[in-house]
Amino acid sequence: MALYKQQELKIYNSISGEKEVFKPINEGAVGMYVCGPTVYSNVHLGNCRTFISFDLVFRYLKHLGYKVRYVRNITDAGHLENDADSGEDRIAKKARLEQIEPMEVVQRYTVDFHNILQKFNNLPPSIEPTATGHIVEQIEIIKEIIDKGYAYEANGSVYFDVLKFNETHDYGKLSGRKLEDMIPNTRELAAQSDKKNQQDFALWKKAEPQHIMRWPSPWSDGFPGWHLECTVMSSKYLGEEFDIHGGGMDLKFPHHECEIAQGEAATGKSPVNYWMHANMLTLNGKKMAKSTGNNILPNEIFTGDNPNLEKGFPPTVARFFMLQANYRSILDFSNDALLASEKGFQRLMDAYHLLDTLDTGGGSDFQVAEWRQKCYDAMNDDFNSPILIAQLFEAVKQINIIKDGKAKITNEDLDLLKKTMADFIFDVLGLVDTTEATANDFGNKLSGAIELLIKLRAEARANKDFATSDKIRDELEAMGIQLKDGKEGTSFSIE
C-alpha cells in the first residue's frame, strides 16, 4: 500500500487561511506549479529559500508514493521593472546595459540558477518551460479572455478589465484585498494612459520602437504580460485545474491574484486547489538589500567571501539551516546561525554513522515505530521540517545512549531506525553526507602525496642516492604503504 494512503497530509492553503487535508484531483498523482526566476541576474538567497522549500514539498510527495508532475517556469521575457505595467523589460534592460543579446542574458543566469540549485541538492522539476517558448499559447488565451468580455484592446496593448471581472467574481480573494481599497498610484504613468481603470493589468503590451524583445500578434508587435505567462504554462502542462501552486510570499499580490483572475476568466474554473507561499529571508535581522550591503549571494556562503561571514559553509549546511524553520516563517540568516547549524548537522551525521556500530539484543528501550510515525506526523503537518529535525535529534540522543550501553535495541528495530533516518535525512530533507566526500577528498590528497614521494624516490635513484631512495621506501612500508617497482613504473598499495 502506498504511503500516502496511510498518512493524512495537511497543507496550509493561503486562499482559505487554514490547514486543509490534501486530496489531489487525481488519485495517486499530484500536479504542482512553482513560479520560477526571472533570469536577469544571479539568483539571490531569498529565491533559493523558496525553491528549497518547494523541493522539500516535491521530495515528500514523492516519498509518500505520489506520481508528481512538478512544473517550474523560467521567465525570460515580459517581466517589467515594476508591477504597474511600466518601465523596461528586466532582461532587455540588462542586455542594453551590457550590449549583448537578451538571450545571452537569459542563458547566463539560467545556467547560474541551475548550478546553484544543484549545489543545494535540489531535484530538477519535471518540466521547466520558458515564457518565450509559449508566445503562441499566450496569444490564444488572450483571444479567449477578450471573447468572454474580460479584456479589451487599446492602441495595440490588451488589458484585463478588473472591474468587469469583479462584477461576477472575487478579485482579491487570495490576498484578502478589496478592490475599492486598492488605491493606485496617484501619479499618472504614461504606460497606464490606455487603461480604463488603473487597477487593470496588461495581458499584451505593444512594444515601443526601442524595445528589443517583440513578437507579432493580432494587436501589435509586442510582448506578453508577466502574469499571463504562468497561467498559460501551468494550464498547458497541468490542466485548467490542478493541485498545488507555490511561490514566494511577495508574489501573492498582484502576480498570483492576477493568475487566478485570468484562469477563471478564460475557463470559468478556479485554477488551483492549494495555494502555498514561502516566507522571506532576512540577514542579521534586516531585509536583504544590495544597496545597503546587507546582502549575500549563495556562492559567497560556500566560499566565505562576504563581510557577514567568518568562513565558508558547505551548501548542505546552508540547506539544513533553512529547513530548521517552517517555510511560512520569516528566517533570519547570520554567521552565528550557520555555525550552530554546522554543529547540529555534524551531530546528526555522526549519529547516523554510529548506526552501523550498534549492538543488538533482546528487547528495545527505544520505541522506533512510534518515533517513526512522529516523523511523519511532523511532515504531514504542512511540511513542518523543524519538528521533523527535532524528532531526528531525539533519535540522535537515543543512538548515543544505546552506543554507551545504557539502552538496548533489537535487530528489527535497528533496521527500521536505519531506514527511517536515511529516508528523512537524505530523501526528504535532501541533505548530503559530506563525511564521505571529505573521506574521498582526503584519499585523493593522500594519493597525491604518495605519488610525490614516489617521484622523489625515482629522482634519488637516478642520482644514485640509494640511501634516500631506500629511506622513502622503508618509511612508507612502516606506515603500511607498499611500493612495487615494475616495467611501467612504481605503483603502491595501502595495507
User: What distance, in Å, lies between the first and last C-alpha atoms of the chain?
Assistant: 48
87: left (phi over 0), alpha (psi -120 to 50) or beta: left
208 belongs to an annotated ligand binding site:
no
173 belongs to an annotated ligand binding site:
no
3-state secondary structure of 143: helix
At 393, list the grid cell. 535529534
67 belongs to an annotated ligand binding site:
no
Measured distance CA(51)–CA(122) in Å, rounded: 8
3-state secondary structure of 463: coil
255 belongs to an annotated ligand binding site:
yes
3-state secondary structure of 486: strand
At 159, list the grid cell. 488589458
> Which helix (DSSP H) or strand (DSSP E) does residue 244 occupy?
strand 242-248
**Amino acid identity, position 351:** A
> Who contacts 34 (Cβ-Cβ below 8 Å, separation ≥6)?
50, 51, 54, 70, 71, 72, 125, 245, 246, 247
Angle formed by the axes of helices 135-147 and 226-238, to 10°? 100
Q: Taking Cα atoms as reference points, which of 447, 445, 475 lies closest to residue 460?
A: 475
3-state secondary structure of 151: strand
Residue ranges of alpha helices (H) inside 15-64 are 45-63
Beta strand 157-160 with 151-154 is antiparallel
Measured distance CA(173)–CA(169) in Å, rounded: 9
Q: How many CB atoms lie within 10 A of CB 26?
A: 12
35: left (phi over 0), alpha (psi -120 to 50) or beta: beta
Peptide bond into 216 cis (omega under 30): no
230 belongs to an annotated ligand binding site:
yes
The CA–CA distances, whole Å, from 275 to 22, 210, 248, 259 equal 12, 38, 11, 12
Torsion of CA 77, 79, 80, 85, to 10 degrees: 110
At 8, list the grid cell. 493524512
Distance of alpha carbon 274 from its chain centroid, rounded?
18
Measured distance CA(3)–CA(5) in Å, rounded: 5
At 10, list the grid cell. 495537511
CB 92 within 8 A of CB 211: yes
List binding-site positions for ATP.
290
Q: Give the residue ranges of the annotated binding site for Zn(2+).
A: 35, 230, 255, 259
Binding residues are 35, 230, 255, 259, 290
